[in-house]
Structure 1
């Protein structure tokens, strides 16, 4: 029902993932509008978005939705909002997040930087040949750094999201109340015209 009429070629699908046809600005606007329209308290929705944003700072790519759901569930946030929050991590922000979390974690753990070792150096060769020896020195610092950068980012996103959702819900309630008054006035007018003189 919601699928495209014409399926995209895998290369086009990959291009859409890195650069949506409508542009990143429009994609973010669409995402924010979907968040505002969710049912639930502004607090629960903002917690959900913050949980998803926190999850996107972790190095466990592919598990961000699950991590966001878990964090949102623990803090009684909106689970659907947490899925939208994971879009904080995207092809534009991931390089900055990965390098920032890795460098911060490595600095705190006093790791010596191995030669040619950086989050951007992750390749299939690392995962198949001596995977643990080469991946753990990257995942460890990134995990620590993701907590230290992810928590402040989640808090900031909570305080941005909550008033935005509150304002949208208030405006929506006023719009619905105005429509109901307008509809009732029309019905009263029709009933008055239908009464015999």
Structure 2
């Protein structure tokens, strides 16, 4: 039971967990591009309704874009049990709009009720075709959302990592300058 609770709500709290992930990303020893591409890859694939494949897909996308694999794994934390319902609803809405659907029609509503009854007997008791229309719509809508999420995360993470490293370098230079001035004054 504790494992399930920890998967949904980390023991250290969400804010502290997010800060921990941010610190891990900042301390990676890769280029700003590799870190940004990795985090963006992980976050982008989290928009797709392929639960269980996000790590693998994040690694593949990060590898293709010369991104950092650890950063991709950290980026997949964007998709979690709290955010998946929002992502899936958004991907369905976008997919429905892209395919020219008008929302859930009366016949689709009846199909949803039938599918709900089937789900109570087992997800695939009547085959994958029962969930295929919804899955297909979510995939169609998830791809453009993934592209937008990738672009947003890439720009923000690259900017933050570049700025963090510049500030760190100036801090280190200041410390070296102080150490040199203290050392020269003692001589």
TM-score between both structures, scaled by the size of structure 1: 0.79
Matched residue, 2:147: 151
Of 1, 8, 22, the residue aligned with 2:12 is 22
Distance in 2 between residues matched to 1:124 and 1:57, nearest whole Å: 26
The Cα shift of 1:115 comes to 3.2
Of 49, 61, 64, the residue aligned with 1:71 is 61
Q: Does 1:162 align with 2:158?
A: yes
Q: Does 1:141 align with 2:137?
A: yes
The Cα shift of 1:138 comes to 2.1
Of 169, 173, 176, the residue aligned with 1:173 is 169
Shift of the 167–124 alpha-carbon distance from structure 1 to 2, 3 Å rule, reads farther
Distance in 2 between residues matched to 1:14 and 1:116, nearest whole Å: 31
Shift of the 13–116 alpha-carbon distance from structure 1 to 2, 3 Å rule, reads farther
Of 11, 31, 44, the residue aligned with 2:21 is 31
Shift of the 178–133 alpha-carbon distance from structure 1 to 2, 3 Å rule, reads same
Per-residue deviation, residues 15-68 of structure 1 (Å, max 9, x unmatched): 111111222111111111111111111122111111111110111111101101
Unaligned runs of 5+ in 2: none
Shift of the 89–189 alpha-carbon distance from structure 1 to 2, 3 Å rule, reads same
Distance in 1 between residues matched to 2:154 and 2:33, nearest whole Å: 8
Matched residue, 2:50: 60
Aligned residues: 179
Secondary structure of the equivalent of 2:75?
A: helix
Shift of the 116–97 alpha-carbon distance from structure 1 to 2, 3 Å rule, reads farther
The Cα shift of 1:88 comes to 0.9
Distance in 2 between residues matched to 1:139 and 1:69, nearest whole Å: 23
Unaligned runs of 5+ in 1: 1-10, 193-197
Greater CA deviation, 56-65 or 130-139?
A: 130-139
Distance in 1 between residues matched to 2:9 and 2:34, nearest whole Å: 30
Shift of the 186–89 alpha-carbon distance from structure 1 to 2, 3 Å rule, reads same
TM-score between both structures, scaled by the size of structure 2: 0.83
Q: Is the 8 A contact 1:126 1:134 kept in 2?
A: no
Backbone CA RMSD of aligned residues: 2.5
Matched residue, 1:130: 126
- Please tell me whether Structure 1 or Structure 2 has the larger radius of gyration of its CA atoms: 1
